[in-house]
Amino acid sequence: MHLAYPAVLSALLFCTGLYGVLARRNAILVLMSVELMLNAVNLNLVAFDVWLAEAAEDTLHSGQALTLFTIAIAAAEIGIGLAIVLAVYRARGTSDVDRLRETAERGHPDGTGGSGADAGDPDGAGRNAADRTEAAA
């Protein structure tokens, strides 16, 4: 069998998963997409392992071993992931990724007020901006 098929398939699957991760709103859907990506990798591993096992007489089957590894870890990961999603859900009442914005910059004290600072002295403006951010935090 032509090695390109599994390779291409895994690439496409991986990118579909990637799209899912980047585009989906619900955290669980994101987890599903992550699963897809992991599976794509597994497919690649298996394909290469089978190819190498015969091409390079490699008896170690590291590819398949790593696939098993990945599957196990994926299971653990999905467990923990869902636990976290639930906790986040309970804490925030929502599990939509783009509504969880705690890490955003608190307003833009410098962005809006900054440029209007007195033009007289660069130092003065710099100092005012610094005071304002402390005040805001």
108 versus 131: smaller Cβ distance to another protein: 108
Residues in the chain: 137
Residues in contact with another protein, shown as a per-residue x/- string from 4 to 23 under the rule CB under 8 A: xxxxxx-xxxxxxxxxxxxx
61 belongs to the binding site for another protein (CB under 8 A): yes
16: exposed, middle or buried (Cβ count in 10 Å: 0-12, 13-18, 19+): middle
| Footprint of another protein on 111-130 (CB under 8 A) | 111, 114-115, 119-126, 129
120 DSSP assignment: T
Q: CA 16, CA 81: separation in Å to the nearest integer?
A: 20
Residues in contact with another protein, shown as a per-residue x/- string from 62 to 101 under the rule CB under 8 A: x-xx-xxx-xxxxxxxxxx-xxxxxx-xxxxxxxxxxxxx
Residue 135 beta carbon to another protein: minimum distance, rounded to whole angstroms: 16
Residue 115 beta carbon to another protein: minimum distance, rounded to whole angstroms: 6
Residue 136 beta carbon to another protein: minimum distance, rounded to whole angstroms: 12
Phi first, then psi: give them for residue 26, nearest 5 degrees: -80, 135
Q: CA 43, CA 72: separation in Å to the nearest integer?
A: 15
> Quick one: which of 98, 103, 105, 115 has its CA closest to 136?
105
32 belongs to the binding site for another protein (CB under 8 A): yes
51 belongs to the binding site for another protein (CB under 8 A): yes
Number of residues near another protein (by CB under 8 A): 100
